[in-house]
C-alpha cells in the first residue's frame, strides 16, 4: 500500500474540511429568507414599451400637429423640468407638437384620456414663457413606477398665436426590491404618533393580504429626490407603523409611512431599507384590519 505524501494528506484534509463546512452551512442557507429580489429579465425593455404606450394615449386639441424632426433650437428651448434626475433607472418617450392658439389649456386635455392620472405640479402662467403640467400615473406593477406624463409649451415665434409643445412620458423601473421574509406569521399595526396598537393580525389569510399589499407597491428608486411636502408641526408623526413577526415572536421586518404622502419605508431586519410608493396602501390596509387608520398626511 502506497504511503501518501504530506502534500497529499494536506489536500485531502482541505477537501474534507470544505465539504464539512458546506454541509453545515447548507441547512442555514436553505432556511435564510431571500430578502432581495432582482428585476426579471426584460424589465428595462418593458419600461420603454410602457413609456411609448403612455405617450400614445395623449390627445391634444384639434389642429395640433406633430413635429417629426424638431430642430436643435426647438429641443434646446423646450427642455422640461428634469423630474427624472433623482431616479436611478428609467425610460422616456418624447414627441414635439404645434398647438393652435386656443390650446393653451392643452395640458388639461390629457387628464381625461388616461385613467388614474392626477396633477402633481404645474408651472407657468400663460405668459410668453414656458408653461406646462405633470400628470402622475398609477404604477404599472411592482417593477414599473413611478410613472408620469409631462407637457411643456412655449409660444411659437414663427407662427403667431400658435404654441410649441413637448410631451414626455417617463417610466421608472427598479432593478431590485426587498421581499418580506417567508417567516412572517403576524402583523401589528400601530399609530406612528404615539405607538398605540391599532390592530393585531395573526389570521393567516389576513396576514397574507397585508404581505401581498406591501409586495405589490412599486419601488420609489429616487436617490436624491426632494418632495414638496405639506408642513407638519414639530414632533408630529402622521400615519402608521407595521411590525412583522415570526411564529416565535421575533421581529423580522418593519414598515412606516413617511412625512410625505408618497412613501412607505420598508426595512427587513439584518438587510436593507427601501422606499415604496404608498399609492393607496392605507386604504387597502383599512379594509384588511376593518377600521379607520390615521392618514399619512
Tell me what pLDDT residue 127 has: 58
Mean per-residue pLDDT of the chain: 80
Which of 48-52, 143-147, 164-168, 255-259 has maximum average pLDDT?
48-52
May I ask the CATH architecture of the domain 179-289? Sandwich (2.60)
Binned at pLDDT 50, 70 and 90, residue 32 comes out as: very low
How many residues are recorded in the chain? 297
pLDDT of residue 271: 78
Domain ranges of the chain: 43-173, 179-289
Does pLDDT of 251 surpass 50? yes
* pLDDT at residue 132 in the model: 82
Does the pLDDT of residue 85 top 50, yes or no?
Answer: yes
pLDDT(23) > 80? no
Q: What is the pLDDT of residue 19?
A: 39
Query: Residue 277's pLDDT is what?
Result: 85
pTM metric for this prediction? 0.73
Most confident stretch, 6-10, 15-19, 182-186, 215-219: 182-186
Amino acid at each position: 500500500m502506497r504511503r501518501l505524501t504530506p502534500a497529499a494528506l494536506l489536500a485531502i484534509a482541505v477537501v474534507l474540511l470544505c465539504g464539512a463546512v458546506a454541509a453545515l452551512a447548507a441547512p442555514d442557507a436553505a432556511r435564510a429568507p431571500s430578502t432581495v429580489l432582482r428585476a426579471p429579465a426584460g424589465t428595462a425593455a418593458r419600461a420603454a414599451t410602457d413609456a411609448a404606450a403612455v405617450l400614445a394615449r395623449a390627445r391634444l386639441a384639434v389642429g395640433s400637429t406633430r413635429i417629426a424632426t424638431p430642430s436643435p433650437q426647438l429641443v434646446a428651448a423646450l427642455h422640461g423640468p428634469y423630474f427624472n434626475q433623482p431616479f436611478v433607472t428609467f425610460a422616456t418617450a418624447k414627441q414635439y407638437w404645434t398647438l393652435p392658439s386656443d390650446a393653451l389649456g392643452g395640458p388639461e386635455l390629457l387628464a381625461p384620456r388616461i385613467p388614474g392620472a392626477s396633477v402633481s405640479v404645474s408651472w407657468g402662467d400663460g405668459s410668453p414663457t414656458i408653461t406646462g403640467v405633470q400628470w402622475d400615473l398609477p404604477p404599472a406593477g411592482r417593477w414599473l413606477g413611478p410613472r408620469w406624463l409631462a407637457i411643456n409649451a412655449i409660444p411659437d415665434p414663427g407662427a403667431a398665436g400658435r404654441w410649441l409643445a413637448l410631451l414626455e412620458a417617463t417610466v421608472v423601473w427598479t432593478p431590485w426590491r426587498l421581499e418580506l421574509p417567508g417567516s412572517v406569521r403576524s402583523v401589528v399595526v400601530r399609530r406612528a404618533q404615539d405607538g398605540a396598537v391599532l390592530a393585531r393580525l395573526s389570521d393567516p389569510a389576513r396576514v397574507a393580504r397585508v404581505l401581498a399589499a406591501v409586495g405589490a407597491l412599486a419601488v420609489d428608486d429616487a436617490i436624491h429626490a426632494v418632495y414638496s411636502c405639506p408642513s407638519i408641526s414639530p414632533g408630529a408623526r402622521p400615519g402608521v407603523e407595521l411590525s412583522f413577526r415570526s411564529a416565535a415572536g421575533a421581529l423580522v421586518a418593519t414598515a412606516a409611512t413617511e412625512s410625505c404622502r408618497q412613501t412607505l419605508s420598508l426595512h427587513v431586519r439584518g438587510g436593507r431599507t427601501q422606499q415604496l410608493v404608498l399609492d393607496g396602501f392605507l386604504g387597502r390596509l383599512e379594509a384588511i384590519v376593518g377600521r379607520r387608520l390615521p392618514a399619512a398626511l
